[in-house]
Amino acid sequence: MARTSSGSFLTALGIALGIGLVSAPMVGLVGAAPTPGKIGVIDLEKTLYETPAGKRASDAFDKTRKAKQAELDKKQKDLQKAAAELDKQAAVLKPDVLADKKKVLEKQFVELQQTYVKLEKDLAGERTKLVQDVLKKAEPIIEQIAKEEGVMMVLDQSATLWVDQSVDLTDKLNAKMK
């Protein structure tokens, strides 16, 4: 009988240790899981348009955009004027001369379209650079605010679908941006 009870005891002990070994890693995992941190958001567009640094950058961008738009508008008006003149002359021009002039106008139109696409691409690149420059200036300030607020991560508001205004750090950032 002693064997039976000691055998049962060892079996029970083995089961208890087995359960302990199986559950210990789980308890460790649960205990080691990171606690969710506070997340903040910044509205970079608002920072671009409301802070002195953002306004300077936006003004420079607008000046460049307007200059490029003026260049494009001039080329478009010149092309329209040339097309109107060709329409007036169409009745008196020989067919081969008219065809040649139309080809020249078509070529100029294609060049105008290419210029438009290039200017759009250039402006998009300049806009990206503008945002990066302002963000570079804002980054240490954002880090400081995040640490003060106990925030673990800061996202641009444009990357979120909904945000509780209590986590919006934009006004704090904008107050410190020069």
Residue 40 is which amino acid?
A: G
pTM over 0.85: no
Instruction: Give the per-residue pLDDT at 14.
Output: 45
Question: Which residues of the chain fall short of a pLDDT of 70?
Answer: 1-36
Instruction: Give the per-residue pLDDT at 24.
Output: 42
**Separation between Cα atoms, residue 132 and residue 123, nearest integer Å:** 14
Instruction: Give the per-residue pLDDT at 130.
Output: 87
Nearest Cα to 131, choosing from 63, 66, 60? 60
Instruction: Give the per-residue pLDDT at 66.
Output: 94
Instruction: Give the per-residue pLDDT at 35.
Output: 57
